[in-house]
Amino acid sequence: MSLYVRRGAGSPTDAARWSRRRDVMTNLRSVIGRAYPRVIGSTREPSWVLFEVLLPFLTTSAFVFVYRALDAPTEYVGFVVLGGAMSAFWLNVMWLMAAQLWWEKDNGNLELYFTAPIDLMSILFGMAVGGLLATCFRAVVVLSIGTALYGVTFSVEQWGLLLVVFFLTLSSLYGLGMVLASLFLLWGREAWHLTQLMQEPVYFVSGLNFPVGRLGFVGALAISTIPLAVGLDALRQLAFAGGVASFGTPSPEVEALVLVAMTAIFLFAARFFLRTIERLARREGRLTARGQ
Amino acid sequence: MPSIPLAIDTRGIERVYKAKPRPITALAGVDLRVEPGEFFGLLGPNGAGKTTLIKILTTLLLPTAGTAHVFGFDVERETKRIRRIMNIVSGGEQSGYGLLLVREQLWMFSQFYGLGAREGWRRVDELIEAVGLQDQRLQKVSSLSTGQRQKMNMARGLLNDPWILFLDEPTLGLDVSAARAVRTLIREWKGAVVGRTVLLTSHYMAEVEELCDRLAIVDRGRIVAIGTPADLKRRIQRDSIFRLELDRLDGGASSLSGLPGVLKAVTASDGSSTSGGARQRTAVKLVLADDNALGPVVTALGQRGSQIVSLEKSEPTLEEVFVQLVGRSFADDSEDGGSDTDGRGSSSGTDGAMADPSAPPPPTAATERMTEDAPLAATGLPER
- Structural domain count of chain A: 1
Residue pair A228/A169 in contact (Cβ under 8 Å)? The answer is yes
Give me the domain span that covers residue B251: 238-314
pLDDT digits (tens, 9 = 90+) for A44-68: 877 777 777 777 788 888 989 998 8
Residues B45 and B90 in one domain: yes
Question: Tell me: the pLDDT tens digits for A117-166?
Answer: 999 889 988 988 998 888 888 888 888 988 999 888 888 888 999 999 99
Domain of B273, CATH number, reads 3.30.70.1340
* Residue A253 belongs to a domain: yes
Domain assignment present for residue A215? The answer is yes
CB-CB under 8 Å, B55 with A115: no
Nearest to B288 by CA among B240, B235, B238, B232: B240
Query: Is B204 domain-assigned?
Result: yes
Contact between A13 and B84 using a beta-carbon 8 Å cutoff: no
What is the residue range of A183's domain?
21-284
Distance from CA of A90 to the nearest CA of B (A): 23
Q: What per-residue confidence (pLDDT) applies to B336? A: 45
Residue B169: which CATH number?
3.40.50.300
Q: How far is CA A26 from the centre of its chain?
A: 24
| pLDDT-derived band at A292, boundaries 50, 70, 90 | very low
Domain boundary pick from B234, B266, B292: B234
Contact B100, B48 (CB under 8 A): no
Q: Which of B90, B189, B344 sits opposite A285 (nearest CB)?
A: B344
Residues B83 and B217 grouped into a single domain? yes
For chain B (384 residues), the mean pLDDT of every run of 10, in chain order, is 84 90 91 96 89 94 96 95 95 86 96 92 93 93 91 94 94 86 90 91 87 93 92 78 86 85 79 51 85 88 88 81 76 48 35 33 30 27 28
Q: Do B111 and A32 touch (CB under 8 A)?
A: yes
Looking at the fold, whether B247 and B261 belong to one and the same domain comes out as yes
Alpha carbon distance B9, A4 (integer Å): 26
Residue B345 lies in a domain: no
- The pLDDT of residue B272 is 52
Does residue A15 fall inside a structural domain?
no
Residue A79 lies in a domain: yes
Residues in chain A with CB shorter than 8 Å from the CB of B96 are 109
**Is B128 inside a domain boundary?**
no
A13, part of any domain? no
Under the banding of pLDDT at 50, 70 and 90, the label for residue A8 is low
CB pairs < 8 Å spanning A and B: 163
Residue B274 resides in a domain: yes
Asked if the structure places residue A93 within a domain, the reply is yes
Question: Does the pLDDT at position A234 exceed 60?
Answer: yes
Task: Find which of A3, A26, A283 to mutate to test the B interface (most B CBs within 10 Å of its CB).
Answer: A3
Same domain, B230 and B163: yes
* Residue A106, CA distances (Å) to A101, A184, A188, A279, B106 in order: 9, 13, 10, 19, 20
Are B346 and A108 in contact (CB < 8 Å)?
A: no
Residues on chain B touching A112 (C-beta within 8 angstroms): 88, 95, 109, 112, 156
Q: Which of B5, B61, B189 sits opposite A285 (nearest CB)?
A: B61
Identify whether residues B79 and B184 lie together within a single domain: yes
Same domain, B230 and B242: no
**Does some domain include residue B42?**
yes
Question: Where is the domain boundary, B213, B234, B255?
Answer: B234
Q: Using 50, 70 and 90 to split pLDDT, how confident is the model at A185?
A: confident
Q: Which residues of chain A make contact with B17, given a CB cutoff of 8 A?
A: 285
Q: Report the percentage of chain A scoring pLDDT > 70.
A: 91
- Count up the domains in chain B and report the number: 2
The alpha carbon torsion through B109, B112, B117, B123 (nearest 10 deg) reads: -50
- Boundary-marking domain end, from B281, B299, B314: B314
Cβ distance A29 to B189 less than 8 Å, yes or no, reads no
B178 and B248 both lie in a single domain: no
Whole-angstrom Cα distance, residue B70 to residue A247? 61
Q: Judge if B81 and B186 occupy the same domain.
A: yes
In a domain? residue A219: yes
How confident is the model at residue B351, as a pLDDT? Answer: 35
Residue A102 lies in a domain: yes
Tell me which chain B residues have a C-beta less than 8 angstroms from the C-beta of A32. 111, 117
Q: Do B163 and A15 touch (CB under 8 A)?
A: yes
Distance of CA B103 to the CA centre of its chain: 31
One domain, residues B85 and B15: yes
Is B307 found in the same domain as B203? no
For position A168, what pLDDT does the model report?
95
Checking if the pLDDT of A102 tops 70, the result is yes
Whether B132 maps to a domain, the answer reads: no
Kindly determine whether residue B188 and residue A111, on different chains, have CB atoms separated by under 8 Å: no
pLDDT of residue B251: 82
Partner-chain residue, chosen from B58, B71, B342, that has the shortest CB–CB distance to A12: B71
Closest chain A residue to B54, measured at CA: A115
Residue B308 and residue B165 share a domain: no
Please tell me whether residue B197 adopts helix, strand or coil conformation. Answer: strand
pTM of the model: 0.79
**Which 3-state string (H, E, C) describes chain A?**
CHHHCCCCCCCHHHHCCCCHHHHHHHHHHHHHHHHHHHHHHHHHCCCHHHHHHHHHHHHHHHHHHHHHHCCCCCHHHHHHHHHHHHHHHHHHHHHHHHCHHHHHHHCCHHHHHHHCCCCHHHHHHHHHHHHHHHHHHHHHHHHHHHHHHHCCCCECCCHHHHHHHHHHHHHHHHHHHHHHHHHHHHHCCHHHHHHHHHHHHHHHHHCCCCCHHHHCHHHHHHHHHCHHHHHHHHHHHHHECCCCCCCCCCCHHHHHHHHHHHHHHHHHHHHHHHHHHHHHHHHHCCCCCCCC
The answer to the question of residue B359 being in a domain is: no
Q: What are phi and psi of A182, to 5 degrees?
A: -65, -45
B86 and B69 in a common domain: yes
